[in-house]
Amino acid sequence: MSLESSHPVQLNELYREVIMDHYRRPRNKGTLENPSVSVDLHNPTCGDEITLQLLVRDGTIQKARFAGRGCSISQASASMMAQQVEGKTLAEAEEIIHRFKRMMRGDEAAGETLGDLMALHGVAKFPVRVKCALLAWEALERSLEQLS
Ligand code: ZN
């Protein structure tokens, strides 16, 4: 499934390349043997599936891995999210979720500290695609809830 065929979304070329790079070469993809938490979610409007697993020690996300399938936006978002939260404290992860959600509501400035995730800011203009981008983040939110 490519961005072109499954999503009639016109994104800035540079951002599109970042998204497609994460989609084709996902970071942090895989499963953990003894995760502290594991959450499965799917997005029925698009068919995206995500399993997120975290290994947490002393309040820090030591490992973040995802597995799944679906459109380029859902999978790239999961790859960028897992890469971004690994090594962060739970409080820092909460802050990153908060910023990403603000960016998905159209607040571009909220994404400025989010690295590659900034590439997804244009998705905010497409409500159906926002669900794709948020799927991995909902899995992260539920994971943090289960840990608390
Ligand atoms: Zn999708």
Q: How close is the Cα of 26 to the center of ligand 1, in Å?
A: 16
pLDDT at res. 11: 65
Ligand 1 centroid from CA 70, angstroms: 6
- Helix (H) / strand (E) containing 67: strand 60-69
Using the mean position of ligand 1's atoms as its centre, give its distance from the Cα of residue 11 in Å. 15
| Euclidean distance between CA atoms 42 and 56, whole angstroms | 23
What average pLDDT score do residues 95-103 get?
97
Is the pLDDT at 5 greater than 70, yes or no?
Answer: no
Assigned CATH topology for domain 3-147 = Sufe protein. Chain: A (3.90.1010)
Task: Compute, in angstroms, the gap from residue 93 CA to the centroid of ligand 1.
Answer: 23
Candidate from 15-19, 31-35, 97-101, 133-137 with smallest mean pLDDT:
15-19
Q: How far is the CA of 82 from the centre of ligand 1 (A)?
A: 17
User: How far is 26 from 79, CA to CA, in rounded Å?
Assistant: 5
| pLDDT for 12 | 79
Q: Are 18 and 54 in contact (CB under 8 A)?
A: no
What is the C-alpha radius of gyration for the chain, rounded to an integer number of angstroms? 14
Reference 81, options 55, 39, 52, 109; nearest CA is: 52
Q: Is 109 or 4 the better-scoring residue by pLDDT?
A: 109
Return all residues near 118 (Cβ < 8 A) that are at least 6 apart. 15, 103, 111, 112
CA 57–ligand 1 middle distance (angstroms) = 32
pLDDT digit string, tens, across residues 117-146: 999 999 999 999 999 999 999 999 999 999
- Tokens 């971004």, located at residue: 84
CB contact at 8 A, 75 and 64: no
Please state, for a pLDDT cut of 90, what percent of the chain lies above it. Answer: 86
